[in-house]
Amino acid sequence: MIIVPPPFPNLTPFIPELIVLSVAMVLLLLEIWVKNRVFIAGICILTGFAVIYCLNMSIGITFNGMFINDIYSVLFKIIFMVCLILTVLISLNYIDREKPIRGEYYSLLLFATAGMMLMASAKDLMVLYLGLELMALSTYILAGIKTLNIKSNEAAIKYFMLGAFSSAFLLFGISMLYGLTATTDIYLIAERLKDTERSLPLILSMIMIVVAFSFKIAAAPFHMWSPDVYEGAPTSVTAFLSVGPKAAGFAVIGRVFYIAFEGIQPDWTTAFIIISVITMAIGNIVALAQTNIKRMLAYSSIAHAGYILIGIVTSTYESLQAVINYLMIYTFMNIGAFAIVILLDKGEEIQDYNGLSKHRPLVAAIMLLFMFSLVGIPPTAGFIAKFNLFVSAIHGGQIWLVVIAVIFSAVSAFYYLRVVMNMYMKDPLVEEHQIHLSPSLGFAIFITVVMVMVLGLFPSLII
């Protein structure tokens, strides 16, 4: 019997991932010889730009229909790249300060990014799951990379345990879906589910997948890991975790629920409405009681996941666009806020910010901008993001959900503005607020400030 070799898979749509993965591997080797961290970080940033440059040229489907690079995934990949570039910029100086962090840091960041890109581009549930695991495994290590710090260890082990738990849910849901349709291709599942009526196993598998993805985006009641992980992980990693995996989670939620579960849209909409309301409530109310700013930002990121879910629930073209915009703007303002936490020598507790404006007026003003943006006060970008999302939800008929969201966003003003109040109205507890300014960190803060201002004043640039 003559074996006809199948054609070599078309690699063009896979080029962005190939770039990231190969750079990640090369960096592992380079880190042995190149002691200059600036060089390695520079390569990471160049990779980010190279991927953004390649994205539009590499649209298509490949690997037997398992991998798709379309406009949807391109937009998410741009968010991941922005997240990667900003994280590398804020890490560069921070890593030298936190001595026990090893050089593998940058390649792990790249591996995590590659996992997120695979998730956004998965056309097959198997690729989706494997991308998720690649991202998750890399981020577990990143959370625990300060090996001698007990809190960092705790963060890693907690993240690992609950991540494994959520993976089990995801696999259970996928296997039931496979049992119903005999395929793992997301688009084929939609086709085969079209004629079948909704059945109990279908609802069960939908619920399992909802639970698994809610873990990834840290939506309540599956958010328990996030405050501990965000507090224990090195701050630069926290900035990465609060944006990248969350955006990747929303990317797969969009893909799986809009396409595979199109037939049972009322059911998953109900599930997400409940989760969204609980998430907004828990995120915003528990954040009021926090004294550590990383924990506060963790709860704030839980609350933001709740707002973004409103866009997912509305499920119109407009709301999906608003979700992507929101994630883009959230990337800038959240990483910006974490950059300020890194900038300060002692900036982990909220009372460390007391009287910051007296010693460091510029730093205080920038923090004020990010806090205003996170609340959603014009003319910052955060306002535009929320406004867009809520308008699209009202157009889609989710008026009650928007009312609840607006109420909780008013609650959120309390804890964001408490930081501002501490900075401007309280007397400093320390003689001098030490800062560690480096060119890369300054550049990252500059970019985020400019983006938050410009997108707030000229929203037409991205909408």
Partner 1 sequence: MTLPQIFFAYFFVMILGLAVMVVTRRNLVHAVLWMLLMFVHIGGLYLFLNAEFFAIIQIIVYAGAILVMFLFVLLLLNVKQSLTASLFIRGWQGRAMAVVFLLLVFVISIKNLVIGPRGEYSIQRIEQQGHIKVIGEAMFNDYILPFMIIGLILFVPMIAAAVLAMRRHDGSS
Q: Is 272 in the site for partner 1 (CB under 8 A)?
A: no
Is residue 106 within 8 Å of residue 27, measured between CB atoms? yes
Nearest CB to partner 1, comparing residues 118 and 252: 118
Per DSSP, the three-state class of 143 is helix
Residue 380 gets the label, from left (phi > 0), alpha (psi -120 to 50) or beta, of: beta
Q: Is 355 helix (H, G, I), strand (E, B) or coil?
A: coil
The secondary structure of residue 459, as a DSSP letter, is G
CB nearer partner 1, residue 25 or residue 38: 25
Q: Judged by CB under 8 A, does residue 144 bind partner 1?
A: yes
Residue 87: CB minimum distance to partner 1, A: 18
φ, ψ dihedrals at 46, nearest 5°: -60, -40
Applying CB under 8 A, which part among 123-131, 286-294, 345-353, 380-388 lies near partner 1?
A: 123-131
Q: How far is the CB of 348 from partner 1 (least distance, A)?
A: 21
* Least distance to partner 1, CB of residue 47, Å: 16
Distance of CA 101 to the CA centre of its chain: 22
Residue 10 found at the interface with partner 1 (CB under 8 A):
no
Select the residue interacting with partner 1 from 70, 104, 154, 267 (CB under 8 A): 104
Residue 146 vs 246, nearer CB to partner 1:
146
Position 348 contacts partner 1 (CB under 8 A)? no
Q: What whole-number distance in Å separates Cα of residue 333 and Cα of residue 329?
A: 6
Q: Are 389 and 323 in contact (CB under 8 A)?
A: yes
Instruction: Compute how many residues bind partner 1; rule: CB under 8 A.
Output: 43
Looking only at residues 84 through 103 of this chain, which bind partner 1 when binding is defined by CB under 8 A? 99-100, 102
The reply on whether position 30 binds partner 1 by CB under 8 A is no
22 near partner 1 (CB under 8 A): no
Site string for partner 1, 199-218 (x = CB under 8 A): xxx--x--------------
State in angstroms the smallest separation of the CB of 240 from partner 1: 16
Closer CB to partner 1, 102 or 346, in the complex: 102
- Cis bond before residue 7 (omega within 30° of 0): no
The 218-237 contact track toward partner 1, x by CB under 8 A, reads --------------------
Work out the number of other CB atoms within 10 angstroms of the CB of residue 67: 22
Q: Does 285 bind partner 1 (CB under 8 A)?
A: no
Name which position in 32, 148, 150, 461 contacts partner 1 (CB under 8 A): 148
Segment interacting with partner 1, rule: CB under 8 A, options 126-134, 213-221, 305-313, 370-378: 126-134
Q: Given candidates 78, 118, 308, 374, which one binds partner 1 under the rule CB under 8 A? A: 118
Rounded distance between C-alpha atoms, residue 306 and residue 311, angstroms = 9
Is 182 near partner 1 (CB under 8 A)? Answer: yes
Helix (H) or strand (E) holding 61: strand 60-62
Instruction: Tell me whether residue 188 or residue 278 sits nearer to partner 1 (CB atom).
Output: 188
Asked if residue 63 binds partner 1 (CB under 8 A), the reply is: yes
- Should residue 28 be labelled a site residue for partner 1 when binding is judged by CB under 8 A? yes
Nearer to partner 1, 61 or 413 (CB): 61
d(CA 419, CA 293): 9
- CB burial of residue 4 (10 Å; 0-12, 13-18, 19+): exposed
Q: Residue 459 — φ and ψ, nearest 5°?
A: -65, -20
Tell me the closest approach of the beta carbon of residue 141 to partner 1, in angstroms.
Answer: 4
Is 183 among the residues that bind partner 1 (CB under 8 A)? yes
Contacts of 442 (CB under 8 A, 6+ apart): none
**In this complex, which beta carbon is closest to partner 1, that of residue 176 or of residue 327?**
176
Residues that bind partner 1 (CB under 8 A): 6, 9, 21, 28, 63-64, 66-67, 99-100, 102, 104, 107-108, 111, 114, 118, 124, 126-127, 130-131, 133-134, 137-138, 140-141, 144-145, 147-148, 172, 176, 179-183, 199-201, 204
